[in-house]
Homo-oligomer: A and B are copies of this chain.
Amino acid sequence: MSAAEKKALEKKSKSIHAIQSELENTNRIALSVDCVIFGFDENKLKVLLIRSDLKKYSGKWSLLGDLVFPKEDLDDAAYRILKQRTGLSDVYLEQVHTFGAVDRHPAGRVVTVTYCSLINVQHHKINILDNELHWHDVQTVKDLAFDHQQIFDTCLKQLQKRVQEHPLGFNLLPKKFSLRDLQNLYEAILDVKMDRRNFRKKFFTMDLLIDLNEMEQDAPHRPGKLYKFNFEKYEKKQKKWVGIDF
């Protein structure tokens, strides 16, 4: 670009001040975060729901959400909301999708960014003091408030996909787990049955499990060995995956 062209360009360019007027109130929209919080307990995949606080949806369940503050990073808002609702920090959180139909909220325009998080129900005993907050089997979730059913369905599908490509599942298990625990988890998330021997083979071949040389306690049958996931080794891998398949 020549100097003359550059100058011509600058002439057409807007100053920051000019842009600011476009961002004035009339063009602003309320923005919220909704968290789909998955847990795993009693060999079932669970999701944390709260009673809707809106009369229109009285009695219905809804996701945990809140408005994003004007001076708050989007990701920070997600962590704040998770912390507020569950008391938890330092957990897996991932943005999934943004829902922005004009009429999705009865009180006005609210665009919502959905985050998905996976927490270990046993390990993080959540303050469910408020009995409005409840773990639900994902199998039986239906008829949520707002468009939360759609959001939930999207997140569950995404979880099912991503749990196969990344070691997310371990965020749902205790630090020490048996291979049976791990398989139960995958079977619950993916809603399939797997061959036990092939499942073990797969994970042992990956070579990402650390044998703790400990055994399950209090099992009403032969106790299994306990393992933990080798996150460090996994981080170093990062394979380049190529395989057209659809």
Contact = CB atoms under 8 A, between A and B. Distances in A.
Interface of A: 1, 6, 9-10, 12-17, 19-20, 22-23, 25-31, 51-56, 58-59, 67-75, 77, 95, 97-102, 106-111, 113, 132, 163-167, 186, 190, 192, 202, 206, 234, 241-246
Given A14-B54, A244-B164, A23 B190 contact: no
Interface residues of A: mostly helix, strand, loop or mixed?
A: mixed
A136 B174 CA distance: 48
Nearest to A6: B59
User: By CB atoms of chain B within 10 A, which of A51, A206, A241, A246 has the most?
Assistant: A246
A246 B1 contact: no
Contacts of A102: 71-73
Contact of A19 (B12, B54, B101, B166): B54
A112 B92 CA distance: 23
Nearest to A69: B27
A137 B238 CA distance: 26
A150 B15 CA distance: 23
Nearest to A166: B246
Contacts of A101: 73-74
Given A26-B70, A29-B29, A68-B100, 15 more contacts: A6-B58, A6-B59, A12-B53, A13-B54, A13-B58, A23-B110, A27-B30, A28-B29, A29-B30, A29-B70, A73-B102, A77-B100, A111-B113, A164-B241, A234-B246
Given A23-B108, A70-B109, A72-B102, A242 B58 contact: no
Contacts of A107: 16-17, 19-20, 23
